[in-house]
Structure 1
């Protein structure tokens, strides 16, 4: 039995989310897939960000890209209204909790002076590690209820697919989105690439589900996901129970719940037959897998530094 471990935003519980150090740490721990979030900038670049606006929790202003920039400060502004150059001024390596109960404050190791990476830089990192067996699970952040913040789903999906193709990663990638319009676009563009239909209680209405109404499917979420173009159902873990697992099996959709950080809950989901677990703590899941005798993904060795070029002799 092979059940996958997916590193959520890299390894959010251990290193800054959606950053090169965080993704590298997940690779070095050992995961089956790196999951991360992509947003399109004002100048049509792809960067990693969970939020459609620059988050004050994960990002901090360091200064404007040029003196007198009218858009500075950048924190709190839509990512899609800022250029790559503006976004690259931010420090994304130190979490700044808004409350004392922030669940990652005690476990996430800061990496100061870390910049917001481009999607291409992430794929370059994976290439540098030689992590050919680790899949890229790219969540396209899109809110169909906020078109003012959201990129056109066709342009957005085409850009992500083009970047994956440029790095020869389409064969080891998956497209994820809560906005099921993107699943439909991806189905047409790259029908062989897995498509994860993300869902939570807040996104169960037609505006998120590409115009589909769950009532038309008798409340059968997996049936709706399959109709929208999903090949995998990825619900919030609190939605997963025996009934949902049986419905998904009926429609031949693997279930990969998110975000599961407690081994006890992960064990319950394993007993329900899930195909994978999305987690902020790959280390915890690896320990549970070992307890259960499940195969764990191998750590990826840190790449050796390139030798310095020999100096010419006089």
Structure 2
């Protein structure tokens, strides 16, 4: 039922086009703009905290060390979040330098927040404005990194994430996405066994994989098929809907591309620039 009412726009990493990605300012501004689905990524710190971050390290494009010096490309992997306490992670700035890939992005002091902080922000907003707020949470997992920059097993990673979500948000407002099909298989199994609630929507992230092969490789039909928007065809949309999957492509940033996807019949779009398609938003201010 929740999916039928899901808003069309999902704010990628909050509102990356205009604000530092995966930070409290980005999520705050997305909500103020009328975004009702916050898309984000999570990693795990050395002390077992669930941290909102796209990479399990400090990205040299926009991260600064505690002394204010930029993180260099050579240093990135040295700052492995899985080997850093959250107290240490917080000392790194991820917004002051801006992001050269997003020239419209406001440069401002920011750091990688905890998942619990982002959920608290969204839930406070829900309460204040009586609006449904959804969370599309990506477990950043790569098989080669098991035990290196993430927990050794997808079970441990997943359970840490669920422990945070379960305390703060009703399951029908959660989308759990991953490129790592081992993660999705674990969540599906846990849901079937009643360990995790069945209302959670599982989203299969793929680059170019067809919906047919996505179902085949997963061994079950996820709630959502989430491909690179450039690899999406009308046939894929029709096939997905026929097989009970919603279609949520990533990451379309031009208004024309988003309009074209809407015409194709997709169910939602993940974008860095929610402000470019105000017709799909319901601003509260």
TM-score tier, shorter chain, comes to 0.7 to 0.9
Greater CA drift, 225-234 or 262-271: 225-234
* Alignment-derived partner of residue 198 in structure 2: 191
Question: Larger Rg: 1 or 2?
Answer: 1
* Alignment-derived partner of residue 136 in structure 2: 137
Contact 2:185 2:218 in 1 (8 A): no
**Aligned ranges for residues 56-205 of structure 1 at < 5 Å?**
56-63=60-67, 76-95=78-97, 97=99, 102-104=100-102, 106-112=103-109, 114-130=110-126, 132-147=131-146, 148-151=148-151, 152-187=153-188, 188=190, 189-201=196-208
Contact 1:38 1:49 in 2 (8 A): yes
Inter-CA distance 168–269: structure 2 relative to 1 (3 Å threshold): closer
Asked if residue 263 in structure 1 is aligned to residue 258 in structure 2, the reply is no
Count of aligned pairs = 264
Asked if residue 284 in structure 1 is aligned to residue 276 in structure 2, the reply is yes
Greater CA drift, 82-91 or 142-151: 142-151
How far 1:279 moved relative to its partner? 0.3
Contact 1:6 1:277 in 2 (8 A): yes
Deviation readout 1:198-248 (Å, 9 max, x if unpaired): 0114xx6xxxxxxxxx8xxxx823433663452100011111012212221
Can you give the 5+ residue segments of structure 1 that lack an aligned partner in the other structure? 65-72, 205-213, 291-295, 302-314
Contact 1:59 1:75 in 2 (8 A): no
- Measure, in 2, the Cα distance between the counterparts of 1:84 and 1:74: 17
Secondary structure of the residue that 1:220 maps to in structure 2?
A: helix
Over aligned residue pairs, what C-alpha RMSD do you find?
A: 2.3
| TM-score w.r.t. length of structure 1 | 0.77
How far 1:62 moved relative to its partner? 1.4
Greater CA drift, 127-136 or 114-123: 127-136
Contact 1:16 1:95 in 2 (8 A): no
Can you give the 5+ residue segments of structure 2 that lack an aligned partner in the other structure? 69-74, 191-195
Contact 2:250 2:269 in 1 (8 A): yes
How far 1:174 moved relative to its partner? 1.1
Inter-CA distance 16–96: structure 2 relative to 1 (3 Å threshold): closer
**Aligned ranges for residues 48-63 of structure 1 at < 5 Å?**
48-63=52-67
Inter-CA distance 228–180: structure 2 relative to 1 (3 Å threshold): farther
- Measure, in 1, the Cα distance between the counterparts of 2:9 and 2:156: 30
Compare the two structures and name the one with the higher helix fraction: 2
- Measure, in 2, the Cα distance between the counterparts of 1:117 and 1:89: 11
| TM-score w.r.t. length of structure 2 | 0.85
Secondary structure of the residue that 1:16 maps to in structure 2?
A: coil
- Measure, in 1, the Cα distance between the counterparts of 2:93 and 2:101: 21
Q: 2:283 aligns with which of 282, 294, 299?
A: 299
- Measure, in 2, the Cα distance between the counterparts of 1:273 and 1:225: 25
Secondary structure of the residue that 1:137 maps to in structure 2?
A: strand
- Measure, in 1, the Cα distance between the counterparts of 2:139 and 2:214: 20
Secondary structure of the residue that 1:197 maps to in structure 2?
A: strand
Deviation readout 1:75-129 (Å, 9 max, x if unpaired): 74221111111101001123455xxxx430x2101112x2210111111212332
Contact 1:60 1:75 in 2 (8 A): no
Asked if residue 246 in structure 1 is aligned to residue 238 in structure 2, the reply is yes
- Measure, in 1, the Cα distance between the counterparts of 2:14 and 2:217: 25
